[in-house]
Amino acid sequence: ALRIAPKSAHYWQLLGDVKLLEKDYHAAKDYFGKSSDLFPENPEALDSLAHINQQLGEHQIAIQCWQKAAQLEPDNPEYYVSMTESYLARNDNVLASQAISQALTKCPDHPKALLLKAEAEIGIDNQNLARLTIQAAKTVVADPIPFDLLLIELDRRSNPHGALNALQNLAEAHPENPQVLNQLADYQIEARELEKAEKNLQYSLSVDGENPHTLISLGKIDRLKGDLEQAVARLTQAIKLDPSLIDAYLELGQTYQDRREVNNAIETYHKAIDMVGRDPRPYIQASAAYKESRDYRNAEYMLRQAAQLSPSDQSIRRQLAAIVALNLVNNLQEAPKRK
Protein backbone atom coordinates (compact mmCIF):
# COMPACT_ATOMS: atom_id res chain seq x y z
CA ALA A 1 0.00 0.00 0.00
CA LEU A 2 2.85 2.40 0.80
CA ARG A 3 4.42 1.74 -2.60
CA ILE A 4 1.17 2.89 -4.20
CA ALA A 5 0.52 5.76 -1.78
CA PRO A 6 3.80 6.64 -0.01
CA LYS A 7 2.36 9.90 1.23
CA SER A 8 -0.63 8.30 2.95
CA ALA A 9 -0.51 9.29 6.62
CA HIS A 10 -3.06 6.54 7.37
CA TYR A 11 -0.80 3.76 6.09
CA TRP A 12 2.20 5.05 8.04
CA GLN A 13 -0.03 5.16 11.13
CA LEU A 14 -1.09 1.55 10.58
CA LEU A 15 2.52 0.46 10.10
CA GLY A 16 3.41 2.19 13.36
CA ASP A 17 0.61 0.28 15.10
CA VAL A 18 2.04 -2.98 13.77
CA LYS A 19 5.53 -2.16 15.02
CA LEU A 20 4.04 -1.26 18.39
CA LEU A 21 2.45 -4.70 18.63
CA GLU A 22 5.80 -6.22 17.68
CA LYS A 23 7.41 -4.17 20.50
CA ASP A 24 9.74 -2.52 17.97
CA TYR A 25 9.30 0.85 19.65
CA HIS A 26 11.92 2.84 17.79
CA ALA A 27 10.51 1.76 14.42
CA ALA A 28 7.01 2.62 15.65
CA LYS A 29 8.26 6.06 16.64
CA ASP A 30 9.68 6.62 13.14
CA TYR A 31 6.44 5.58 11.43
CA PHE A 32 4.20 7.61 13.73
CA GLY A 33 6.50 10.55 13.07
CA LYS A 34 6.09 10.15 9.31
CA SER A 35 2.32 9.95 9.72
CA SER A 36 2.31 13.13 11.78
CA ASP A 37 4.58 14.94 9.32
CA LEU A 38 2.24 14.07 6.43
CA PHE A 39 -0.89 15.06 8.37
CA PRO A 40 0.21 17.56 11.08
CA GLU A 41 -3.38 18.58 11.81
CA ASN A 42 -4.39 15.04 12.84
CA PRO A 43 -4.66 14.78 16.66
CA GLU A 44 -4.72 10.96 16.47
CA ALA A 45 -1.30 10.90 14.79
CA LEU A 46 0.05 13.38 17.34
CA ASP A 47 -1.34 11.28 20.18
CA SER A 48 0.33 8.11 18.86
CA LEU A 49 3.63 9.92 18.41
CA ALA A 50 3.35 11.38 21.90
CA HIS A 51 2.66 8.02 23.54
CA ILE A 52 5.62 6.27 21.93
CA ASN A 53 7.93 9.14 22.90
CA GLN A 54 6.60 8.96 26.45
CA GLN A 55 7.28 5.22 26.54
CA LEU A 56 10.84 5.85 25.34
CA GLY A 57 11.44 8.53 27.98
CA GLU A 58 11.29 11.50 25.58
CA HIS A 59 8.81 13.35 27.76
CA GLN A 60 9.40 16.86 26.45
CA ILE A 61 8.65 15.77 22.88
CA ALA A 62 5.58 13.91 24.12
CA ILE A 63 4.32 16.98 25.96
CA GLN A 64 4.76 19.14 22.87
CA CYS A 65 2.77 16.66 20.76
CA TRP A 66 -0.09 16.59 23.27
CA GLN A 67 -0.11 20.37 23.49
CA LYS A 68 -0.61 20.51 19.71
CA ALA A 69 -3.28 17.80 19.88
CA ALA A 70 -5.10 19.71 22.63
CA GLN A 71 -5.16 22.82 20.45
CA LEU A 72 -6.73 20.80 17.62
CA GLU A 73 -9.20 18.96 19.89
CA PRO A 74 -9.61 21.19 22.97
CA ASP A 75 -12.52 19.28 24.53
CA ASN A 76 -10.60 15.99 24.82
CA PRO A 77 -9.34 15.58 28.41
CA GLU A 78 -7.11 12.59 27.54
CA TYR A 79 -4.36 14.78 26.09
CA TYR A 80 -4.04 16.64 29.40
CA VAL A 81 -4.11 13.35 31.34
CA SER A 82 -1.24 11.93 29.28
CA MET A 83 0.61 15.23 29.40
CA THR A 84 0.39 15.14 33.20
CA GLU A 85 2.02 11.70 33.30
CA SER A 86 5.02 13.07 31.43
CA TYR A 87 5.23 16.14 33.67
CA LEU A 88 5.23 13.84 36.72
CA ALA A 89 7.93 11.67 35.16
CA ARG A 90 10.05 14.82 34.83
CA ASN A 91 9.20 15.86 38.42
CA ASP A 92 7.53 19.00 37.06
CA ASN A 93 4.83 18.73 39.68
CA VAL A 94 3.49 22.29 39.41
CA LEU A 95 3.02 21.95 35.64
CA ALA A 96 1.50 18.52 36.23
CA SER A 97 -1.04 20.04 38.62
CA GLN A 98 -1.91 22.75 36.09
CA ALA A 99 -2.32 20.28 33.22
CA ILE A 100 -4.48 17.85 35.15
CA SER A 101 -6.68 20.70 36.34
CA GLN A 102 -7.43 21.33 32.66
CA ALA A 103 -8.54 17.72 32.27
CA LEU A 104 -10.75 17.86 35.36
CA THR A 105 -12.35 21.08 34.10
CA LYS A 106 -13.52 19.09 31.08
CA CYS A 107 -14.34 15.86 32.95
CA PRO A 108 -14.59 16.34 36.76
CA ASP A 109 -15.09 12.63 37.55
CA HIS A 110 -12.30 11.28 35.32
CA PRO A 111 -10.76 8.49 37.50
CA LYS A 112 -7.22 8.66 36.14
CA ALA A 113 -7.23 12.45 36.20
CA LEU A 114 -8.27 12.46 39.86
CA LEU A 115 -5.49 9.99 40.69
CA LEU A 116 -2.89 12.09 38.86
CA LYS A 117 -4.19 15.24 40.57
CA ALA A 118 -3.49 13.61 43.95
CA GLU A 119 -0.04 12.47 42.79
CA ALA A 120 0.81 15.98 41.58
CA GLU A 121 -0.25 17.51 44.90
CA ILE A 122 1.88 14.97 46.76
CA GLY A 123 4.79 15.99 44.54
CA ILE A 124 4.23 19.64 45.44
CA ASP A 125 4.08 18.51 49.11
CA ASN A 126 0.48 19.66 49.41
CA GLN A 127 -0.54 16.61 51.38
CA ASN A 128 -3.82 17.98 52.71
CA LEU A 129 -5.14 18.72 49.23
CA ALA A 130 -3.91 15.31 48.06
CA ARG A 131 -5.88 13.60 50.85
CA LEU A 132 -9.00 15.61 50.07
CA THR A 133 -8.69 14.71 46.39
CA ILE A 134 -8.32 11.01 47.22
CA GLN A 135 -11.25 11.01 49.63
CA ALA A 136 -13.51 12.85 47.16
CA ALA A 137 -12.47 10.57 44.30
CA LYS A 138 -13.33 7.41 46.24
CA THR A 139 -16.97 8.56 46.39
CA VAL A 140 -17.33 8.79 42.59
CA VAL A 141 -14.96 6.26 40.96
CA ALA A 142 -15.90 2.68 40.17
CA ASP A 143 -12.55 1.29 41.35
CA PRO A 144 -11.23 2.91 44.56
CA ILE A 145 -8.24 0.56 44.92
CA PRO A 146 -5.66 2.80 43.13
CA PHE A 147 -6.68 5.61 45.50
CA ASP A 148 -6.37 3.30 48.54
CA LEU A 149 -2.86 2.38 47.39
CA LEU A 150 -1.87 6.01 46.89
CA LEU A 151 -3.20 6.94 50.34
CA ILE A 152 -1.22 4.08 51.90
CA GLU A 153 1.91 5.28 50.10
CA LEU A 154 1.29 8.80 51.41
CA ASP A 155 0.84 7.53 54.99
CA ARG A 156 3.98 5.41 54.67
CA ARG A 157 6.17 8.50 54.91
CA SER A 158 5.20 9.09 58.52
CA ASN A 159 4.14 5.59 59.57
CA PRO A 160 5.86 2.80 57.59
CA HIS A 161 4.65 0.02 59.89
CA GLY A 162 1.07 1.26 59.80
CA ALA A 163 1.19 1.53 56.01
CA LEU A 164 2.40 -2.07 55.73
CA ASN A 165 -0.45 -3.25 57.96
CA ALA A 166 -2.97 -1.27 55.92
CA LEU A 167 -1.64 -2.78 52.72
CA GLN A 168 -1.83 -6.31 54.16
CA ASN A 169 -5.47 -5.65 55.07
CA LEU A 170 -6.16 -4.38 51.56
CA ALA A 171 -4.53 -7.49 50.09
CA GLU A 172 -6.74 -9.71 52.28
CA ALA A 173 -9.80 -7.83 51.02
CA HIS A 174 -8.67 -8.03 47.37
CA PRO A 175 -6.53 -11.19 47.06
CA GLU A 176 -6.97 -11.36 43.26
CA ASN A 177 -5.62 -7.86 42.54
CA PRO A 178 -2.04 -7.98 41.16
CA GLN A 179 -1.48 -4.26 41.76
CA VAL A 180 -2.21 -4.66 45.48
CA LEU A 181 -0.17 -7.86 45.76
CA ASN A 182 2.80 -6.33 43.94
CA GLN A 183 2.86 -3.19 46.06
CA LEU A 184 2.64 -5.29 49.22
CA ALA A 185 5.51 -7.45 47.95
CA ASP A 186 7.62 -4.36 47.23
CA TYR A 187 7.12 -3.19 50.82
CA GLN A 188 8.03 -6.66 52.08
CA ILE A 189 11.18 -6.76 49.93
CA GLU A 190 12.30 -3.46 51.47
CA ALA A 191 11.62 -4.96 54.92
CA ARG A 192 13.64 -8.05 53.85
CA GLU A 193 10.58 -10.25 54.33
CA LEU A 194 11.56 -12.11 51.17
CA GLU A 195 9.56 -15.32 51.71
CA LYS A 196 6.33 -13.39 52.27
CA ALA A 197 7.05 -11.17 49.27
CA GLU A 198 7.79 -14.16 47.04
CA LYS A 199 4.57 -15.87 48.08
CA ASN A 200 2.52 -12.80 47.18
CA LEU A 201 4.32 -12.36 43.87
CA GLN A 202 3.88 -16.00 42.88
CA TYR A 203 0.16 -15.68 43.51
CA SER A 204 0.10 -12.40 41.58
CA LEU A 205 1.81 -14.18 38.68
CA SER A 206 -0.84 -16.92 38.78
CA VAL A 207 -3.49 -14.20 38.34
CA ASP A 208 -1.61 -12.35 35.59
CA GLY A 209 1.19 -14.38 34.08
CA GLU A 210 2.13 -11.64 31.60
CA ASN A 211 2.85 -8.89 34.13
CA PRO A 212 6.49 -7.81 33.66
CA HIS A 213 6.51 -5.84 36.92
CA THR A 214 5.79 -9.03 38.84
CA LEU A 215 8.70 -10.76 37.09
CA ILE A 216 11.03 -7.86 37.91
CA SER A 217 10.20 -8.10 41.61
CA LEU A 218 10.60 -11.88 41.57
CA GLY A 219 13.93 -11.47 39.79
CA LYS A 220 15.06 -9.07 42.48
CA ILE A 221 14.14 -11.59 45.19
CA ASP A 222 16.03 -14.31 43.30
CA ARG A 223 19.09 -12.06 43.16
CA LEU A 224 18.89 -11.20 46.86
CA LYS A 225 18.57 -14.91 47.71
CA GLY A 226 21.56 -15.72 45.51
CA ASP A 227 19.60 -17.63 42.86
CA LEU A 228 21.22 -15.65 40.06
CA GLU A 229 20.42 -18.01 37.21
CA GLN A 230 16.71 -17.86 38.01
CA ALA A 231 16.95 -14.07 38.34
CA VAL A 232 18.44 -13.78 34.86
CA ALA A 233 15.65 -15.96 33.42
CA ARG A 234 12.86 -13.94 35.03
CA LEU A 235 14.32 -10.55 34.15
CA THR A 236 15.01 -11.58 30.57
CA GLN A 237 11.36 -12.62 30.28
CA ALA A 238 10.24 -9.27 31.72
CA ILE A 239 12.25 -7.44 29.04
CA LYS A 240 10.67 -9.60 26.32
CA LEU A 241 7.22 -8.65 27.60
CA ASP A 242 8.05 -4.93 27.69
CA PRO A 243 11.42 -3.87 26.24
CA SER A 244 10.95 -0.29 27.48
CA LEU A 245 11.01 -1.15 31.21
CA ILE A 246 14.29 0.31 32.43
CA ASP A 247 13.95 -1.30 35.88
CA ALA A 248 14.25 -4.74 34.27
CA TYR A 249 17.55 -3.84 32.58
CA LEU A 250 18.91 -2.30 35.78
CA GLU A 251 18.08 -5.35 37.86
CA LEU A 252 19.42 -7.69 35.17
CA GLY A 253 22.64 -5.70 34.92
CA GLN A 254 23.07 -5.83 38.70
CA THR A 255 22.49 -9.59 38.59
CA TYR A 256 25.26 -9.97 36.02
CA GLN A 257 27.54 -7.90 38.24
CA ASP A 258 26.73 -10.19 41.16
CA ARG A 259 27.74 -13.09 38.90
CA ARG A 260 31.01 -11.26 38.11
CA GLU A 261 29.94 -11.06 34.46
CA VAL A 262 30.85 -7.40 34.09
CA ASN A 263 30.82 -7.37 30.29
CA ASN A 264 27.28 -8.74 30.23
CA ALA A 265 26.28 -6.12 32.78
CA ILE A 266 27.76 -3.30 30.68
CA GLU A 267 26.03 -4.63 27.57
CA THR A 268 22.70 -4.72 29.43
CA TYR A 269 23.07 -1.12 30.63
CA HIS A 270 23.86 0.00 27.08
CA LYS A 271 20.69 -1.73 25.86
CA ALA A 272 18.77 0.28 28.45
CA ILE A 273 20.43 3.48 27.25
CA ASP A 274 19.61 2.63 23.64
CA MET A 275 15.98 2.05 24.59
CA VAL A 276 15.43 5.05 26.89
CA GLY A 277 18.37 7.41 26.62
CA ARG A 278 17.14 10.16 28.91
CA ASP A 279 17.07 8.16 32.14
CA PRO A 280 20.27 8.73 34.18
CA ARG A 281 20.08 5.43 36.08
CA PRO A 282 21.57 3.08 33.46
CA TYR A 283 24.46 5.53 33.01
CA ILE A 284 25.11 5.47 36.76
CA GLN A 285 25.08 1.68 36.96
CA ALA A 286 27.17 1.38 33.78
CA SER A 287 29.72 3.67 35.42
CA ALA A 288 29.88 1.36 38.43
CA ALA A 289 30.39 -1.64 36.14
CA TYR A 290 33.16 0.11 34.20
CA LYS A 291 34.77 1.08 37.51
CA GLU A 292 34.60 -2.55 38.61
CA SER A 293 36.49 -3.54 35.44
CA ARG A 294 39.01 -0.71 36.07
CA ASP A 295 37.91 1.17 32.95
CA TYR A 296 37.95 4.54 34.67
CA ARG A 297 37.74 6.58 31.47
CA ASN A 298 34.38 5.09 30.48
CA ALA A 299 33.22 5.17 34.10
CA GLU A 300 33.82 8.93 34.11
CA TYR A 301 32.13 9.37 30.72
CA MET A 302 28.99 7.57 31.90
CA LEU A 303 28.71 9.71 35.01
CA ARG A 304 29.17 12.87 32.96
CA GLN A 305 26.24 11.76 30.80
CA ALA A 306 24.15 11.09 33.92
CA ALA A 307 25.06 14.53 35.31
CA GLN A 308 23.88 16.19 32.10
CA LEU A 309 20.55 14.39 32.34
CA SER A 310 20.09 15.17 36.04
CA PRO A 311 22.13 18.34 36.75
CA SER A 312 20.60 18.96 40.19
CA ASP A 313 21.42 15.48 41.56
CA GLN A 314 24.19 16.04 44.09
CA SER A 315 24.81 12.32 44.52
CA ILE A 316 25.81 12.05 40.86
CA ARG A 317 28.06 15.08 41.26
CA ARG A 318 29.83 13.51 44.22
CA GLN A 319 30.31 10.22 42.38
CA LEU A 320 31.64 12.09 39.35
CA ALA A 321 34.16 14.01 41.44
CA ALA A 322 35.40 10.76 42.96
CA ILE A 323 35.77 8.99 39.61
CA VAL A 324 37.50 12.01 38.03
CA ALA A 325 40.07 11.91 40.82
CA LEU A 326 40.45 8.14 40.44
CA ASN A 327 40.87 8.47 36.68
CA LEU A 328 43.51 11.18 37.13
CA VAL A 329 45.49 9.04 39.58
CA ASN A 330 45.24 6.06 37.24
CA ASN A 331 46.47 8.13 34.28
CA LEU A 332 49.44 9.36 36.32
CA GLN A 333 50.31 5.78 37.29
CA GLU A 334 49.96 4.54 33.72
CA ALA A 335 52.05 7.36 32.20
CA PRO A 336 55.49 5.89 33.06
CA LYS A 337 54.45 2.49 31.64
CA ARG A 338 53.62 4.04 28.28
CA LYS A 339 57.08 5.63 27.91
Listing DSSP states for 131-184 in one string gives HHHHHHHTTT-S--HHHHHHHHHHHHTT-HHHHHHHHHHHHHH-TT-HHHHHHH
Q: Could you tell me which of 263, 188, 257 has the C-alpha nearest to residue 223? A: 257
Phi, psi of 139, deg, nearest 5: -85, -10
Please state the rounded mean pLDDT for residues 273-292: 96
Q: List all residues 6 or more positions away from 123 whose beta carbon is below 8 Å from its beta carbon.
A: 88, 91, 93, 96
Residue 224: name the closest of 193, 245, 184, 183 by CA.
193
Report the alpha-carbon distance of residue 42 to residue 295 in Å, rounded.
49
Whether 2 shows a pLDDT value over 50: the answer reads: no
Distance CA 198, CA 123 (A): 30
The answer on pLDDT for 290 being more than 60 is: yes
Confidence of residue 229 (pLDDT cuts 50, 70, 90): very high
**Interatomic CA distance for residues 224 and 213, integer angstroms:** 17
Q: Is 82 exposed, middle or buried (0-12, 13-18, 19+ CB in 10 A)?
A: buried
- Asked if 260 and 289 touch (Cβ cutoff 8 Å), the reply is no
User: Under a CB-based contact definition with an 8 Å cutoff, are residues 267 and 279 in contact?
Assistant: no
Residues 3-14: what's their mean pLDDT? 70
Count of CA atoms in the C-beta half-sphere (13 A) of 144: 13
Helix (H, G, I), strand (E, B) or coil at 306: helix
Mean pLDDT of the chain: 94
Contact (Cβ atoms closer than 8 angstroms) between residue 218 and residue 245: no
Give the angle subtended at the CA of 326 by the CAs of 324 and 330, to the nearest 5°: 115
Q: How many residues does the chain have?
A: 339
Nearest to 232 by CA among 213, 209, 258: 258
AA identity, residue 24: D
Asked if residue 335 has pLDDT above 80, the reply is no
Q: For the chain, what is the radius of gyration of the CA atoms?
A: 23
Grade residue 3 by pLDDT with cuts at 50, 70 and 90. low
The pLDDT of 279-306, averaged and rounded, is 97
pLDDT tens column, 179-227: 999 999 999 999 999 999 999 999 999 999 999 999 999 999 999 999 9
Confidence of residue 1 (pLDDT cuts 50, 70, 90): very low
**Angle at CA 105, nearest 5°, toward 103 and 111?**
55
What number is the average pLDDT over the span 311-322?
95
d(CA 87, CA 94): 9
